[in-house]
Amino acid sequence: MTHEALSVGPMSLVPGSGTLGVRATSTGGLLKVWSANATAMELCLYDERDSNWLSSAVAMRRDENDVWTAESPDLVAGALYTVRATGPTGPTHRFDPVLDLVDPYARGLARTSAGEWRSTVLDDAFDWEGVTKPAIPLDHSVFYEAHVKGLTKLNTDLPEALRGTYAGLGHPATIAYLTGLGITAIELLPIHQSISEQRLIKQGLTNYWGYNTLNFFTPHAEYATRAAQAGGAGDVLREVKTMVKNLHAAGLEVILDVVYNHTAEEGADGPTTSLRGIDNASYYRQTEDGTYIDVTGCGNTVDFSAPAAQQLVLDSLEYWANEVQVDGFRFDLAVTLGRDDGVEYDPEHPLLAAIVANPALAGVKMIAEPWDVGMGGWQVGNFPLGFLEWNDGYRDRTRDFWLTDVGAARAGDSASNGIGSFARRLAGSAHVFTRERGPLASVNFVTAHDGFTMADLTAYNEKHNLGNGEDNRDGTGNNHSFNHGVEGPTDDEGIREARCRAQRNMLGTLMLSAGVPMITAGDEFGRSQRGNNNAYCHDSELTWMAWEHDEWQRGMLEVSRTLARLRRENPALRPVRFGTFGETVPSANQMDWYNKEGLSMSDADWDSPAERTLQYLAASTPEVEEFNRILLVVHGLEEPVTVTLPEHEGVTGYELIWDSSHTEPPLGHPPLPPGSERTVVGTSMQLFRAH
């Protein structure tokens, strides 16, 4: 498919519309809504003291660009309003002139006593007090995926009223924990206003994760303090902005997980709250008979071959990046955003191009979840320059190397894989990402919000999701996990230590690999969800982060902090570019690979499941930082091995700075000369600084 040239800038895809939503005028307010198929629309204004009481209705005028406009002196800050739309009948249309619809561009929302939604006009003035975005370079970035409520709900260091809120996340106690951990950006699960699916409500459950968006501009009110909720949508927004400001003042970035691929209107039998009633045929993918084309698994799919849908995303991104000052976005099921009018993924799709080219979004980190559930939905490595991508191959190879391969070796005296595929991931996944994009296109992760926690990966072979109400059918069965001999908790000290070492190995791999690491909140101390690998519907202590830790968890936390520090101190661990053999590439790595004898790796060394030991020597090629060289020794079998530290030009000694077989960092070890022999404990890693 060929695309028309796209001029980047506000409202470039809906000609003549200006800015959609509500804007103040000298005589009140002006509302603009886009609909190609409506035949009539009206603005409905409701009494501020009784949101069920319709106080006035204003007919909207349509222009040649399908933009409907209404003005009212009452459309000012604090006003409650909806849109009603009339249009044709037919299989692809869902117009109902008596339904009150949310303005897709509403900056605030309120709920009536009857459970209906009202859009709210906001006074969004805010004093940022000179605080600006930290602008952390990607090679220094460490992402931390967390849930606004779950992160602080149990933190007794916070005033009770702030626990589980935006204000709690922006509180000095939370910030001190995050900065002490060494992360640079908090990646928040969705904070756009969401609702629970009808199915979950009937079961008495809730969509805790929030991947069921009602509106792309309004923050989720339930994450605000009760005081802010009582004050209305404006106070909720100010609490969000204060959180962002406080995090920025501490040098921390804020990344939002955004769900543009589908909406909370669900499938054909779902609620009509906004886009469906305004122009179902334009906003959602359908066949001619009105059947929804669902590549999201959530009942509907927003049609991003339509310019208005593309514009909605761009305007939402601009709003959050500029008005709320967030630093980046993680796009849920991002392949959906790049599907053309034939529902095929196109890396040159105009929306993807606009996201990374729009000057209003310059410097904003853009992270794709590079898959959806439609045909051709797995597109890892196939997003355009300017996007980072979640690297699921990295996730699976890391788990395999430290878990399932070890389990296979126990069961059959041989691991399933050699060390070669693991090493490629360690070095930045150059076989996945182009040279132009480099290693920083890869967001490396071992766990995320969906799936096992890192501790559960080491303790469960099977998912335990009965509490989700689907007879354990939900959630993946392909976990790449290994319980080390017992399913679930155990008092066996040998198993407990093996599990802890496996967690340290996975954390070490994550923090010492080329690419951008993402830690899932709680993995830094071994949080468990009791084997539930799809805990999206649990808003409880199962999913909230514990702040009281056992001794082994405190040790894990110190390991996590140490690894973040070592990554920060050693630029050889975080190259910006891929190296080229025989050349010196600025901000890349010069890499050398050795076997356990200290000799260059042979094909057999790479591929043999019986070996699984390597020594990775990486030297930075300085551009903005001092020269640095590290040696990482990796051993993936449970029997100890003796390694000979490699001889390499310019290296006079190796200083041990981390060993995954211990919780405590090594102290007082004199540098070892090249050619020295050293014992490496089974399934462990050792990191040296080379001098």
Active site residue 332: yes
pLDDT of the residue at 17 = 56
According to the model, what pLDDT value does residue 272 have?
Answer: 98
- Taking the model in full, what pTM does it have? 0.96
Q: Six-digit token pair at 459?
A: 């303790």
Q: Which of 257, 332, 456, 524 is catalytic?
A: 332
Task: For the chain, list the domains and their CATH numbers.
Answer: 21-120 (2.60.40.10), 582-690 (2.60.40.1180)
Secondary structure (3-state) at 438: coil
Return the minimum-mean-pLDDT range out of 1-15, 266-280, 641-655. 1-15
Say if residue 639's pLDDT is above 60.
Answer: yes
Query: Which tokens belong to 347?
Result: 């890396």
What local confidence, expressed as pLDDT, does residue 415 receive?
A: 84
Buried b (16+ CB within 10 A) or exposed e, 650-663: ebeebbbbbbbbeb
- Residue 151's H or E segment, with its range, is helix 148-152
Task: Give the pLDDT confidence of 452-461 residue by residue, as tens digits.
Answer: 999 999 999 9
Query: How many whole angstroms separate alpha carbon 348 and alpha carbon 4?
Result: 11
Q: Looking at residues 43-60, what average pLDDT do you find?
A: 96
- Taking residues 424-451, what's their average pLDDT? 97
| Catalytic residue status for 369 | yes
At 507, which helix (H) or strand (E)?
Answer: helix 493-512
User: What pLDDT digit, counting tens, does each position of 193-227 carry?
Assistant: 999 999 999 999 999 999 999 999 999 999 999 99
Distance in angstroms (rounded) separating the CA atoms of residues 379 and 680: 38
Q: Which of 187, 239, 369, 592 is catalytic?
A: 369
pLDDT digits (tens, 9 = 90+) for 444-493: 999 999 999 999 999 999 999 999 999 999 999 999 999 999 999 999 99
According to the model, what pLDDT value does residue 10 have? Answer: 46
Q: List C-alpha distances in Å: 212 to 120, 202, 537, 555.
A: 20, 16, 12, 37
Retrieve residue 475's tokens.
């959630």
**What are 103-130's pLDDT values in tens digits?**
999 999 999 999 999 999 999 899 999 9
Report the side by side order of strands in the sheet with 629-635.
589-594, 613-620, 629-635, 684-690, 654-659
- The average confidence (pLDDT) of the chain is 95
pLDDT at residue 13, rounded to an integer: 63
Q: How far apart are CA 247 and CA 400, in angstroms?
A: 36
User: Residue 393 in 3-state DSSP?
Assistant: helix
Q: Which of 114-128, 169-183, 404-418 has the lowest mean pLDDT?
A: 404-418
Answer for the pair 59, 70: CB distance below 8 angstroms, yes or no.
Answer: yes
Q: Give the neighbor-by-neighbor strand order of the sheet with 61-62.
A: 21-25, 28-34, 67-72, 61-62
pLDDT at 355: 97
Q: What share of the chain is helix, strand, coil (3-state, %, to 5)?
A: 25, 20, 55
Mean pLDDT computed over 611-622: 95
Cβ 200 vs Cβ 206: under 8 Å: yes
Q: At 593, phi and psi to the nearest 5? A: -120, 130
- Beta-strand ranges (E) seen in 398-486 are 442-444
